Structure 1
């Protein structure tokens, strides 16, 4: 299961299969996480962002105390704002250098 492409989350008393490529952003809500997908669905389940980031693949990066983004689903980055579809996410100062360094490795 080292190279898995999906995970299950427990939400609304059922298990939902989510492919990592379909996840746009995780938003922290205290002890809960809200997942936004590319087809604009939202799921809320019990987990902290701190626990979650440790079990995610490398294409996910924390950019704010309340947000983890999927780098493959970023549309643009300007003025400390990431645009991912219809979502605008502010990048915290403490995460900006790491994000810029990672993005620079992906540039042509």
Structure 2
């Protein structure tokens, strides 16, 4: 498989090129997701979190029933919360161990 660095999403009746590196957080809204980027843009996309996580690169991890984060864009992790830019996201108990293992692999 080709190492993809971007994907196109359909939003506001147009196809938008979105680089994976630019995505900070993906928030689930039922059958839609809200995609937050490093440039403070937000995109609404018609796809469920469950379907979306399967097509994202490895640096994306589900940390809550309603959130997927890009591990490369996390500012810090403290008191069971991840902070990405201005967003503070609670890590659900069921995802915590998996997240901690991912952090261990990234530590110096």
TM-score tier, shorter chain, comes to: over 0.9
Please identify runs of 4+ aligned residues in structure 1 that moved more than 4 A: none
Partner of 1:24: 24
Aligned length: 108
Gaps of 5+ in 1: none
Aligned-residue RMSD, C-alpha: 0.7
Partner of 1:53: 53
TM (norm. structure 1) is: 0.98
Gaps of 5+ in 2: none
Matched, 1:78 2:78: yes
Could you tell me how far apart the structure 2 residues matched to 1:22 and 1:45 are? 16
TM (norm. structure 2) is: 0.98
Could you tell me how far apart the structure 1 residues matched to 2:35 and 2:58 are? 17
CA shift digits 1:10-58 (9 cap, x unpaired): 0000000000000001000000000000011000010000000000000
